[in-house]
């Protein structure tokens, strides 16, 4: 019966403008209208990733709850960890609407939001009141009109860092002009040094993650890995959305912005495997891109991910996707004789190179 209600809700949502539907989904979560399983864990699923002890390795990617308005229910949705944001120092309207496009035929989405958010001060206030019985992090961003974008990341961390368990440096969104230039080795090292300085000043230093783009060469990945290792990054999230439109069929395929969802799976997993080979286990990797099933989450782990995140699959499958992926992953690990998920990390890496 609960699945029937969810399917009816999804059908209604898909008849609406995607951004309006997303806002209603957040409201439904806040109002307690969504069936939530609470924490899901087992001995096979518990893991230590990027300095965090997680009940399971399946997380929520940034972008779903940009303004931290539904953190409490999301922490009860079965995720092992939740990432909100991106947050910028000052409130930002983002790009003009429409800026979110649902590609139903491809089970994908294209967005060109442009870091729209309520600003670090408002988001910090909400996170200060969040439940402390779950792992929550913040995605750090920069204002579009900032004179010093690198410094913006440190400013957001200083404001929100005391209220979260980890923070992610997001230099890989394609929707803020020239933001991806910060992925170059020299610029990235300087930016990360500033963030780590801000981290040291927090009452409780937290792990810092780095989120990268899927549209990078192996040489660029090597440079990013070097910068991450030299500056003490705890994990790399691979990957953000792509600018590629290869293989798309939906009529919305030519919209500008970053593509997420099913078509990103192979591309992002290849980047993940390359990073796993490059870093040789010296930094944890979190796999993102196209995960809609337990089988796909398991494939990311076997390619090199210590944990995974999902988002776009919720648009097409609803919140029940979370419990299906987590429980299904547990069964796959049991089937293959693994006592713990960390034993499966990277065993299929070479198949993706």
Active site residues: 173
Kindly report the length of the chain: 353
Task: State how far the Cα of 12 lies from the Cα of 171, in Å rounded to an integer.
Answer: 35
Rounded to the nearest 10 degrees, how much is the dihedral formed by the CA atoms of 88, 220, 353, 310?
Answer: 0
User: Would you state the structure tokens that stand for residue 169, as one six-digit string?
Assistant: 């440096």
**DSSP reduced 3-state for 187:** helix
**DSSP reduced 3-state for 121:** helix
The dihedrals phi and psi of 150, each to the nearest 5 degrees, come to: -60, -40
Residue 141 CB partners (closer than 8 Å, separation 6+) = 85, 86, 87, 88, 115, 117, 152, 153, 156, 170, 173, 176
> Omega of the bond prior to 82 within 30 degrees of 0, cis?
no
Are the C-beta atoms of residues 47 and 307 closer than 8 Å to each other?
yes
């Amino acid at each position: 019966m609960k699945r029937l209600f969810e399917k009816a809700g999804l059908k209604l949502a898909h008849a609406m403008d995607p951004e309006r539907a997303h806002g209603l989904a957040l409201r439904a979560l806040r109002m307690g209208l969504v069936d939530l399983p609470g924490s899901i864990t087992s001995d096979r699923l518990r893991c230590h990733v990027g300095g965090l002890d997680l009940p399971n390795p399946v997380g929520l990617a940034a972008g779903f709850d940009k303004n931290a308005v539904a953190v409490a229910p999301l922490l009860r949705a079965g995720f092992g960890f939740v990432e909100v944001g991106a947050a910028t120092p000052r409130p930002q309207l983002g790009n003009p609407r429409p800026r979110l496009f649902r590609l139903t035929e491809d089970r994908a989405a294209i967005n060109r939001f442009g870091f729209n958010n309520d600003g670090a001060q408002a988001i910090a206030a909400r996170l200060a009141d969040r439940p402390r019985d779950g792992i929550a992090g913040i995605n750090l961003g920069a204002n579009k009109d900032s004179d010093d974008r690198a410094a913006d990341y440190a400013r957001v961390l200083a404001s929100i860092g005391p209220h979260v368990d980890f923070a992610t440096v997001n230099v890989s969104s394609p929707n803020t002009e020239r933001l991806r230039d910060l992925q170059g080795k020299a610029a990235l090292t300087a930016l990360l040094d500033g963030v780590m300085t801000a981290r040291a000043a927090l009452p409780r230093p937290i792990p810092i993650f780095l989120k990268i783009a899927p549209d990078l060469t192996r040489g660029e990945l090597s440079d990013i890995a070097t910068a991450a290792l030299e500056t003490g990054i705890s994990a790399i999230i691979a990957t953000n959305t792509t600018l590629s439109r290869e293989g798309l069929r939906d009529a919305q395929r030519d919209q500008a912005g970053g593509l997420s969802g099913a078509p990103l799976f192979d591309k992002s997993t290849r980047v993940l495997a390359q990073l796993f080979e490059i870093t040789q286990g010296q930094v944890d990797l979190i796999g993102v891109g196209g995960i809609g099933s337990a089988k796909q989450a398991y494939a990311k782990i076997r390619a090199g991910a210590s944990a995974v995140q999902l988002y776009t699959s919720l648009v097409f499958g609803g919140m029940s996707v979370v419990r299906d992926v987590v429980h299904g992953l547990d069964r796959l690990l049991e089937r293959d004789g693994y006592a713990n998920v960390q034993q499966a990390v990277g065993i299929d890496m070479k198949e993706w190179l």
